[in-house]
A and B are shown apart, each in its own frame.
Chain A
Amino acid sequence: MTPLAMAMAELDEKRVLELVRRELSAQRVPLEIVEECRIGLNIVGERYGRGEYFLSDLVMSAEIFQEVLRVLEPFLAGVSVCEDQGGKADILFGTVEGDIHDIGKNITISLLRCEGFRVYDAGVDVPPDMFLTLLRETGARVLGLSALLTSSFEAMRRTIQLVRMVIPKSQVRVIIGGLVNERVGRYVGADAWVREAGEGVAICRRWLGVKVVRRAMI
């Protein structure tokens, strides 16, 4: 592992930025610098999955990565990093209607993007028909629904019912996250449920195959 990836994994912000500036002045290609940071972020995600890192560490890693992008921005003109391209996505992700909680959703999305998945973030308080429209527009094969309120489970159920009426199960699989468990998963009709962002990433990897990994960085 390179010193930059290592510094990223250790959440050493000062050293990360120092190394990024040093590599830039040594005429290193900016996208390679981003790739090294991504490797560091992957390690952060793995440590989180093993319970060695915490929500605070994930938040900080995203923050450091943002700082890196700010430094690299003038050199990355016209290139979109870690974002979707052409409106197409592997995964559509959003918090269901009536619920505006987004911490879990955002963490999961950033982990998924670090894995190379193209994720379309539909935001919070998303009505069922909006999810359906976005599924069609993005061609996503996985729908991730987030909710923290027990009263939002109905919205989850309505969303999944609507999607199932129009799109066959073989084309779109649904994963739910938040304050959920097996019972909630059954009730709303999801294909999988997770309490932790890391588990969600593992399931998406299984469903979508690892071949998409790394494709979407640039």
Chain B
Amino acid sequence: MTPEEKQERLFASWLAAQDISFADREAEEGYRQRVMRIKQAVQLKQPPDRVPVCPMTGLFPVYYAGITVREAMYDYQKAAEAWIKYVLDFRPDAYVGMFVVPPGKLFDLLDYKLYKWPGRGVPADISYQCVDAEYMKADEYDALIDDPSDFWLRTYFPRIFGALRPLENLTPLTHVLEMVITCGSFVPFGMPEVQEALRAILEAGREASRWAKVAGDVDRFLRGRGFPALSGGISKAPFDILGDTLRGTRGIMVDMYRRPEKLLEGLEAVTPLAVRMGITSARAAGHPLVFIPLHKGADGFLSEGQFRTFYWPTLRQVIEALIEEGLVPFLFAEGGYNSRLEIICDLPPGKTVWLFDDIDMARAKEVLGDVACIAGNVPISLLAFGSPEEVEDCCRELIKVAGRGGGFILSSGAVIDDIRPENLRALIEAARKFGTYS
């Protein structure tokens, strides 16, 4: 099958929603209209009936429901109710799933070090936040490159999960070969502290399953009411995989100067992992869109030369490999991307979505309009502090500039947390008011 045929098949399966029992005929029609709207916006073959509107909500459903972020992370049922309330009250064309409120107890059980979250380092009503640090040392590139899974299990896990620190005692799993050279690898599993770590894993697994069941139920319920999720799979740019949670911002920036060759090798090593992650997660969700948040390639972070050398080549490989499988990478370019447009336009048409934040959308449409569906970019500050009238004006202008001829999804530029609900309503209504094509 060609990538086009594969993409058609994945969209058809998403559209068919065979495992879903719809609440009524209206819900079923609504679901198909919404999916079709997104499909047509993505494929650039013909404009949809109107501009799809898919706000990039983060914790908005939590604040809107009047519960704290902590409650949402620890009481899964409350989070589920918040999500359902948001979607049914606001009726977006697609919603960002409950994965943005991960289960707090899971991270308690694992004694997670990588983030602070409500009740564990930040106040109950504030978002979880990443602790930017070096979780992989500068001299560990070879260990990562030689055997990424082993590096993750025996070096990375013990650092980011306090409860899994004893896993550093394990031997590489590949030491198990024949009968007489097997026993040694099991000796560490007999250590009391390793057994304790394994018990923590079992408990964490039970907690993750409890949460996943609730999140899955929410997804099925909302689809049954006519509302698809915005994405199914997830992956990351190789540069961000290394820069966000392994080497840290400072680490990876310095690596570009001190050990550029090693960094490039490291990026090559994690690229197939990013591809596999995107494909596996999208297949599990039965959804063609793969969400890829982009961080360190933004304007101002890297020079154009650095972007072309370190950021783009491996991200492009990930994008192309996903496209090859018929998937649709949904790239969320946080921050500015004005200086990157001419570089990223080197992609096959009708296969990606680019959601922009701080960007000149007229220029984005001009440069990328024939290549990709663009999305965005109502400023988050306007949504937080503006009036509904100002939001409406902004959306009308955006639809005029970026919505011309299709290939546009109306959304916020950044993740929506605690904003005035009437402003989100104005954003969603604007697509209905001003976004009709026919």
Indicate, yes or no, whether A interacts with B: yes
Residues on A facing B (Cβ under 8 Å): 11, 13, 53-57, 59-60, 63, 97-103, 125, 149-153, 179-181, 183-184, 187, 196
B116–A100 CB distance below 8 A:
yes
Selected from A103, A150, A184, the residue in CB contact (under 8 A) with B417 is A150
Digitize B359-388: 1 where CB-to-A-CB distance is under 8 Å, 0 elsewhere. Answer: 000000000000000000001111011100
CB-CB nearest in chain A for B63: A151
A150–B419 CB distance below 8 A:
yes
Contacts of A63 in B (CB 8 A): 250, 254
A181–B381 CB distance below 8 A:
yes
Contacts of A102 in B (CB 8 A): 132
A56–B129 CB distance below 8 A:
no
Identify the 5 closest CB pairs spanning chains A and B, nearest first: A98-B126, A59-B253, A56-B253, A183-B385, A151-B418
Which of A56, A183, A184 has the most CB atoms of chain B within a 10 A radius of its CB?
A56
Is B348 interfacial (CB 8 A cutoff)? no
Contacts of B122 in A (CB 8 A): 98, 100, 125
**Taking A150-B384, A181-B381 as contacts, is the C-beta distance between A55 and B253 under 8 angstroms?**
yes
B303–A13 CB distance below 8 A:
no
B249–A151 CB distance below 8 A:
no
Selected from B59, B254, B380, the residue in CB contact (under 8 A) with A60 is B254
Contacts of B256 in A (CB 8 A): 56, 60
Selected from B306, B379, B414, the residue in CB contact (under 8 A) with A56 is B306
B125–A151 CB distance below 8 A:
yes
B382–A183 CB distance below 8 A:
yes
Is B127 interfacial (CB 8 A cutoff)? yes
**Taking A150-B418, A187-B385 as contacts, is the C-beta distance between A54 and B123 under 8 angstroms?**
no
Complex Cα–Cα for A100 and B117 (A): 11
Residues on B facing A (Cβ under 8 Å): 59, 116, 121-123, 125-127, 129, 131-132, 249-250, 253-254, 256-258, 300-303, 306, 379-382, 384-386, 414, 417-419
Complex Cα–Cα for A46 and B380 (A): 30
A to B CB contacts below 8 Å, 15 in the list: A54-B301, A56-B253, A59-B254, A63-B250, A100-B122, A100-B129, A100-B131, A125-B121, A150-B380, A150-B414, A150-B417, A151-B126, A151-B127, A180-B381, A184-B381
Min C-beta distance of B394 to chain A, whole Å: 12
Contacts of B250 in A (CB 8 A): 59, 63
Selected from B126, B132, B253, B254, the residue in CB contact (under 8 A) with A149 is B126
Complex Cα–Cα for A184 and B385 (A): 7
Min C-beta distance of B253 to chain A, whole Å: 4
B302–A54 CB distance below 8 A:
yes
Selected from A103, A152, A153, the residue in CB contact (under 8 A) with B132 is A103
Contacts of A187 in B (CB 8 A): 385
CB-CB nearest in chain B for A187: B385
Complex Cα–Cα for A55 and B335 (A): 13
A100–B418 CB distance below 8 A:
no
Complex Cα–Cα for A115 and B257 (A): 25
CB-CB nearest in chain B for A54: B303
**Taking A59-B249, A98-B122, A152-B126 as contacts, is the C-beta distance between A179 and B414 under 8 angstroms?**
yes
Complex Cα–Cα for A19 and B122 (A): 45
Complex Cα–Cα for A179 and B417 (A): 14
Given A100-B121, A151-B127, 12 new contacts (CB under 8 A): A13-B257, A13-B258, A54-B301, A98-B123, A101-B129, A149-B129, A149-B417, A151-B126, A153-B384, A179-B381, A183-B385, A187-B385
Contacts of A55 in B (CB 8 A): 253, 300-302
CB-CB nearest in chain A for B132: A103
CB-CB nearest in chain B for A188: B385
A151–B417 CB distance below 8 A:
yes
Min C-beta distance of A205 to chain B, whole Å: 21
Contacts of A11 in B (CB 8 A): 257
